[in-house]
Structure 1
Amino acid sequence: MNPILRNILAVILGLVLGSVVNMSLIMLSGSIMPPPEGADATTMEGLIESMHKFQPKHFIFPFLAHALGTLVGACVAAMIAATHKMKFAMAIGVLFLIGGIVNVFLLPSPTWFSIVDLVGAYIPMAFIGGKIGKKLFSKKNS
């Protein structure tokens, strides 16, 4: 396969699969960690209005969703990319970070969570995912 097409495919699949992981964990979170009494977590407006009711435990799954979605996306990108595997993994991290920044502005959450999420869930996870993806790819092709 043409290396340019393969690299484009790496980014697209990294974003798609990372987003699937992210959304799956977000959708699963309500059944494992129910939202506070009276909070409507089904709409953005409901979340905004009830955010003050959320306790730190309610932010575990959003963080995990962002971190694991980025990790999987970066890992996939690194495995598929024909060249510059780590750069493509980090690009996934940057794209997810941009989404996280947008989310901070759209859905006001506690400052501590915004900082932990933006600092810990994207770039570090993209780096780890890139390392894992490179290692898996090298073992696969050995």
Structure 2
Amino acid sequence: MNTILRNLLAIVAGVVIGSIVNMIFITISSSIIPPPDGADVTTTEGLKASMHMFEPKHFIFPFLAHAIGTLVGACITTWLVKGKKLSFAFIIALFFLAGGVASVFMLPSPLWYTVIDLTIAYIPMAYLGGKLGLKLKSQKN
């Protein structure tokens, strides 16, 4: 397969699979840590209106969704690209980071969460995912 096509498909796979992992965490979050009474977490408007009721525990699963989704996406991409190129993991990081920044503008999250989420959940997790992808790739060969 053409190297450019393979690498593009690896990026798409990383974004799609990372997004699926992200949504799994978001979907199961309210069954593990229930939202505050009266909070509507099914819509963006409901989240905006009830965000003031959220406690720190309510931010655990959104952070895990962002971090693990990025980690898995970066790992898959690095594992699939042609050659040993960690830089492709950072393409995935930028994609998910853009989503995180958009989320900051759409939802009024506390400053402490915004700082932790934007500094830890994307670039560092992509680096770790990329390293894991390289390790998996070297074991495959």
- Give the TM-score taking structure 1 as reference length: 0.97
Alpha-carbon distance between aligned partners in 2 of 1:138 and 1:89, rounded to the nearest angstrom: 16
**Which residue is equivalent to 1:120?**
120
**How many matched pairs?**
141
Classify 1:81/1:72 alpha carbon distance in 2 versus 1 (closer, same or farther; 3 Å).
Answer: same
| Secondary structure of 1:49's aligned partner | helix
Deviates more, 1:96-105 or 1:75-84: 75-84
| Secondary structure of 2:86's aligned partner | helix
CA deviation digits over 1:18-53, x for unaligned, max 9?
A: 000000100000100000011000111000000000
**Which residue is equivalent to 1:9?**
9
RMSD between aligned residues: 0.7
Structure 2 residue runs without a partner (length 5+): none
Alpha-carbon distance between aligned partners in 2 of 1:84 and 1:95, rounded to the nearest angstrom: 20
Q: Which amino acid aligns with 2:114?
A: S
Contact 2:14–2:73 at 8 Å: present in 1 too? yes
| Secondary structure of 1:42's aligned partner | coil
The structure 1 segments of at least 4 consecutive aligned residues displaced by more than 2 Å after TM superposition are: none
- Give the TM-score taking structure 2 as reference length: 0.98
Structure 1 residue runs without a partner (length 5+): none
Contact 1:79–1:85 at 8 Å: present in 2 too? no
Alpha-carbon distance between aligned partners in 2 of 1:22 and 1:84, rounded to the nearest angstrom: 26
**Which residue is equivalent to 2:26?**
26
**Which residue is equivalent to 2:68?**
68
Alignment of 1:1-142 (within 5 A): 1-83=1-83, 85-141=85-141
Alpha-carbon distance between aligned partners in 1 of 2:45 and 2:5, rounded to the nearest angstrom: 40
Alpha-carbon distance between aligned partners in 1 of 2:65 and 2:72, rounded to the nearest angstrom: 10
Identity of aligned residues (%): 60
